[in-house]
Structure 1
Amino acid sequence: MNHVLRLSMAGLLLLASMPVTAAGPLRMADALARALTESPKLETYSYSIRAAEAERLQAGLLPNPELGLQLENFAGTGEISGVRGMETTLMLSQLLELGGKREKRELTAARNVGLIEADYDISRLDVLAEVARRFIHVARDQRLLKVAKEAVDLAESNRSSVAERVEAARAMQAELSRADIELARARLRLEHREHELLAAKRRLAASWGSDSVDFARVEADLFRLPATRDLDSLLSELRDSPDLARFLSERRLREAELELAKAGAVPDARIGAGIRRLESIDEQALMLNFSMELPVFDRNQGNIRAARKRLGQVAVDETTTYIEAQSLLFTTYQELRHARTEADTLREDVIPQSRRAMNSFEDGYAAGRFSYLEVADARREFMEVQAEAIRAAASYHSHLIEIERLTGLGFGVERGDLK
Structure 2
Amino acid sequence: MRLLFSLFFLVVGFHSVLAQSVASQDSLLLTLQQADSLFVKNNVLLLAERFRVDASQAQILQASLYDNPTVTLEVSSYNNETRRVLDVGGQGQKTVAIQQLLYTAGKRNKRIALASEAAQLTQFELLDLLRGLRFDLRSRFYSIYFQQKTLARFDQQLATLQTTVAAYEVQYNRNNVSLRELLRLKALLFQLSNDRTAILFQLADDQRALRTLLSIDQPIKPVVADETLARYRLPTQTEDTLQQLAVRNRPDLKAIESLTRQAELNYNLQKALAVPDMRVGGTYDQAGSYIQNYVGLSVSADIPVFNRNQGAIRAARSQIQHQGQLQRQKAIQVGNEVATALQKVREVERRVQSVEQPFTDQFDQLNRGVVTSFQKGNITLLEFVDLIEAYNDSISQLNRLKADRVSAYEELNYLVGEDLFR
Residues 1:345 and 2:354 aligned together: yes
1:122 aligns with 2:128: yes
User: Secondary structure of the equivalent of 2:393?
Assistant: helix
Tell me what 1:149 maps to.
155
- Tell whether 2:254 aligns with 1:245: yes
Q: Contact 2:49–2:126 (CA<8 Å) still a contact in 1?
A: yes
Aligned equivalent of 1:189, options 190, 195, 199: 195
Q: CA deviation at 1:167?
A: 7.8
Aligned to 2:255, the other structure's residue is in SS state: helix
1:326 aligns with 2:326: no
Mark the CA change 1:293 to 1:24 in structure 2 (over 3 Å): closer, same or farther: closer
Tell me how far 1:350 sits from its aligned partner: 3.4
The 3-state SS of whatever aligns with 1:288 is strand
Within the candidate set 69, 72, 86, 2:73 is matched to 69
Match of 2:243 in 1: 235
Task: From the superposition, tell whether residues 159 and 266 of structure 1 become closer, same or farther in structure 2 (CA, over 3 Å).
Answer: same
CA contact (8 A) 2:143 2:403 kept: yes
Matches within 5 A, 1:55-134: 55-70=59-74, 88-134=94-140
Alignment of 1:158-169 (within 5 A): 158-159=164-165, 162=168
C-alpha distance in 2, partners of 1:252/1:264?
18
Structure 1 stretch displaced more, 221-230 or 117-126:
221-230
Structure with greater proportional helix content? 2
Distance 1:48 1:279, change over 3 A: closer
Percent identical among aligned pairs is: 21
Note the C-alpha offset of 1:300: 1.2
Is the 8 Å Cα contact of residues 340 and 393 (structure 1) preserved in structure 2?
A: no
What do residues 25-72 of structure 1 show as CA deviations (whole Å, max 9, x unaligned)? 111111111111111111112211221122211111111111123468
Q: Is the 8 A contact 2:50 2:126 kept in 1?
A: no
Report the alpha carbon displacement of residue 302 of structure 1 after superposing the two structures with TM: 1.5
Q: CA deviation at 1:125?
A: 0.8
- Aligned counterpart, 1:7: none
Q: TM-score, normalised by structure 2?
A: 0.81
Query: Residue 203 and residue 365 in structure 1: after superposition, are their counterparts in 2 closer, same or farther (change >3 A)?
Result: same
Distance in 1, Cα, partners of 2:394 & 2:309 = 69
Equivalent residue number for residue 270 of structure 2 = 261
- CA spacing shift, 1:22–1:118, aligned 2, 3 Å: same
Counterpart code for 2:413: E
Flag structure 1 segments of 5+ consecutive residues without an equivalent. Answer: 1-20, 414-419
Q: Which runs of 5+ in 2 are unaligned?
A: 1-24
CA change 1:157–1:280 in 2 (3 A) is: closer
Q: Which residue of 2 aligns with 1:401?
A: 410
> What is the distance in 1 between the residues matched to 2:289 and 2:55?
55
Q: Tell me if structure 2 keeps the 8 A contact 1:277–1:285.
A: yes
Distance 1:164-1:278 versus aligned 2 partners, 3 A rule: closer
Residues 272 and 280 of structure 1: CA distance in aligned 2, closer, same or farther (over 3 Å): closer
Q: Equivalent residues in 2 for 1:328-407 (5 A)?
A: 328-355=337-364, 365=374, 370-407=379-416
| Of 308-317 and 278-287, the range deviating more from structure 2 | 278-287
Q: Is 2:212 aligned against 1:203? A: no
State the distance in 1 between where 2:388 and 2:77 align: 109
Q: Does 2:32 align with 1:40?
A: no
1:282–1:403: structure 2 CA closer, same or farther, 3 Å change rule? closer
SS in 2 for 1:207: helix
**Partner SS, residue 239 of structure 1:** helix
Q: How many residues align?
A: 387
Report the TM-score, using the length of structure 1 for normalisation: 0.81
2:282 to 268, 273, 276: 273
| Residues in 2 aligned to 1:95 and 1:49: alpha-carbon distance in whole angstroms | 30
**C-alpha distance 362-137 of structure 1, shift in aligned 2 (>3 A):** closer
**RMSD over aligned Cα, in angstroms?**
3.3
CA change 1:233–1:169 in 2 (3 A) is farther
